[in-house]
A and B are shown apart, each in its own frame.
Chain A
Amino acid sequence: GEDVEQSLFLSVREGDSSVINCTYTDSSSTYLYWYKQEPGAGLQLLTYIFSNMDMKQDQRLTVLLNKKDKHLSLRIADTQTGDSAIYFCAEGFAGNNRKLIWGLGTSLAVNP
């Protein structure tokens, strides 16, 4: 079946790099996403990667995809206190109505 797993918590010091990991089970996904949710707010699309890519970099964010191991990671360089939030990994599929499959979210705490 379809399943996306993430570790629930990550704590880092300000200025360090954060790496949030995600594993998924359905290899037919077309896109893999990272969303950020700050307390009491909706979700912000951070970045996404097409499933035939293995890396995407966008400023401080680096996404790595290992399709063989069905493993996705999000690296945040020079983590700031404003990066404290919940980060959701999601798997997306082709087709207009095809829903996203969500992980439970990783709560990132950035300590000064």
Chain B
Amino acid sequence: GAVVSQHPSWVICKSGTSVKIECRSLDFQATTMFWYRQFPKQSLMLMATSNEGSKATYEQGVEKDKFLINHASLTLSTLTVTSAHPEDSSFYICSARDWGRQETQYFGPGTRLLVL
């Protein structure tokens, strides 16, 4: 149980295009999902907290117009990197908090984004 999937697992795109990453909780309901970014050999950087049916809460320094988050259902959140640039290349990881077990966050396998 407690599986979180992400799609795609990797993506290469041209500079200026937008990329959408999906995060799904497969066997549990997630009222809260989190989006992280991880640079090589570094820890996770929380970008935003996403609650089902409401606007995401962004961390300081994260541009909400660039990183659009939609949490349309209890099992799906999406992160759209708009007008991607090479500096947006990174490993993006989502996590989901199980509604029934608030103390745990389960992580997706990550999406590697390379912007050329």
Contact between B109 and A97, CB atoms less than 8 A apart:
no
Binding site for B on A (CB under 8 A): 30-31, 35, 40-45, 48, 50, 88, 92, 96-97, 99-100, 102-105
B residues 89-116 with Cβ under 8 Å of A? 93, 95, 97, 102-110, 112
Q: For A92, A97, A104, which residue has the most chain B Cβ atoms within 10 angstroms? A: A97
Chain B: interface size category: 20 to 34
Output the nearest chain A residue to B103 by Cβ-Cβ distance: A31
Stretch at the interface among B41-49, B62-70, B71-79, B80-88: B41-49
CB contact under 8 A between A96 and B109, given known A30-B103, A31-B103, A42-B93: no
Inter-subunit contact A42/B34 (CB<8 Å): no
Which residues of B are at the interface with A, using a C-beta cutoff of 8 A? 4, 6, 31-32, 34, 42-44, 46, 49, 51, 57, 93, 95, 97, 102-110, 112
Closest to B111 in A: A42
Q: A102-B43, A104-B43 are in contact. Are A42 and B103 (CB under 8 A)?
A: no
Can you name the residue of chain A whose Cβ is closest to the Cβ of B95? A43
User: Chain A residues with Cβ under 8 A from B4's Cβ?
Assistant: 42
User: Known contacts A97-B49, A97-B57, A103-B43; is A92 also within 8 Å of B107 by CB?
Assistant: no
Q: Which residues of B contact A42 (CB under 8 A)?
A: 4, 6, 93, 107-110
Q: Is the CB of A96 within 8 A of B32?
A: yes
Q: For the complex, what is the distance from the CA of A97 to the CA of B52, rounded to whole Å? A: 12
Cβ contacts under 8 Å, B32 to chain A? 96-97
Q: What are the residues of chain B within 8 A of A105 when measuring CB–CB?
A: 43
Least CB distance from A108 to B in Å reads 14
Q: How far is the CA of A68 from the CA of B14 in the complex (A)?
A: 52
Chain A hits for B6, CB < 8 A: 42
| Contacts A42-B4, A44-B107, A96-B32 supplied; 7 other A-B pairs, CB < 8 Å | A35-B107, A92-B103, A97-B32, A97-B49, A102-B44, A104-B42, A105-B43
